[in-house]
Chains A and B, each alone.
Chain A
Amino acid sequence: AQTVTQSQPEMSVQEAETVTLSCTYDTSESDYYLFWYKQPPSRQMILVIRQEAYKQQNATENRFSVNFQKAAKSFSLKISDSQLGDAAMYFCAYRIAGSGNTPLVFGKGTRLSVIA
């Protein structure tokens, strides 16, 4: 079974600084997707960034970037120039790529606090 591990239950960062959230996963599949989702207090799940396993290049979305290490099964999220609005719960998620639709498997989450 696929598992996703987030080893940091809580993290904090000073406004305008950089923070990295860790995520490792376990799978025997070769083709899959990895995601970081943000869940603010409203509890609406918001996609932050996505990585296709077959792509070696790390995904980047503005201030958000990932360090994808496929051999190590590691997928960390780096948030640069942290803003107060970045404070939220962050979930790392994995999804098998297949012919049909597959569910997401989530890590336990990391609660990020941003200090003004």
Chain B
Amino acid sequence: GAVVSQHPSWVICKSGTSVKIECRSLDFQATTMFWYRQFPKQSLMLMATSNEGSKATYEQGVEKDKFLINHASLTLSTLTVTSAHPEDSSFYICSAGPLTEAFFGQGTRLTVV
């Protein structure tokens, strides 16, 4: 079946640095990808909608300058956490696919120290 691959699966970075997370659709083209954030023992919250060739759409309360999204091709969307701080530590998950089924990446556990 269709697969969405996310990389890295985990990353530790120093406070103030930037981290890039990649989300790839391996066997289908994705004009739209979604980025979610999941805090421990909580649900997935939509951060932004990534659109190929155009600007991302961010949910209310999500800082677009902190969470930069680039969707430069039909198979790749990237989320860059800029000037990361400990409160940005979380689990980030991307998703893509048809309306009838959303395929999820493996997720990225980000720890900012």
| Chain A residues proximal to chain B, CB less than 8 Å | 33, 35, 42-45, 47, 50, 52, 91, 95, 97-98, 100-109
Contacts and interface: CB of A to CB of B under 8 A. Distances in A.
Q: Top 10 A-B pairs ranked by shortest CB distance?
A: A45-B104, A101-B32, A106-B43, A103-B34, A108-B43, A103-B46, A106-B44, A43-B107, A109-B43, A104-B102
Nearest to B47: A103
A107 B100 contact: no
| Most chain B CB atoms below 10 A, which of A44, A101, A102 | A101
A12 B100 CA distance: 29
Contacts, number: 52
A93 B93 CA distance: 15
B42 A43 contact: no
A52 B98 CA distance: 13
B49 interface: yes
Contacts of A97: 99
Nearest to B57: A103
A43 B106 CA distance: 7
Interface of B: 31-32, 34, 38, 42-46, 49, 91, 93, 95, 98-102, 104, 106-107
For B32, B43, B49, B101, which residue has the most chain A Cβ atoms within 10 angstroms? B43
Given A33-B99, A43-B91, A47-B101, A91 B43 contact: yes
B49 A103 contact: yes
Contact of B32 (A44, A91, A100): A100
A91 B44 contact: yes
Central interface residue in A35, A44, A98, by most chain B CB within 10 Å: A44
Interface of chain A, helix or strand or loop or mixed?
Answer: loop
A50 B100 contact: yes
Contact of B95 (A42, A52, A104, A107): A104
A116 B98 CA distance: 37
A90 to B, nearest CB: 11
A14 to B, nearest CB: 24
Given A44-B106, A107-B43, A109-B43, A102 B100 contact: no
A108 B101 CA distance: 19
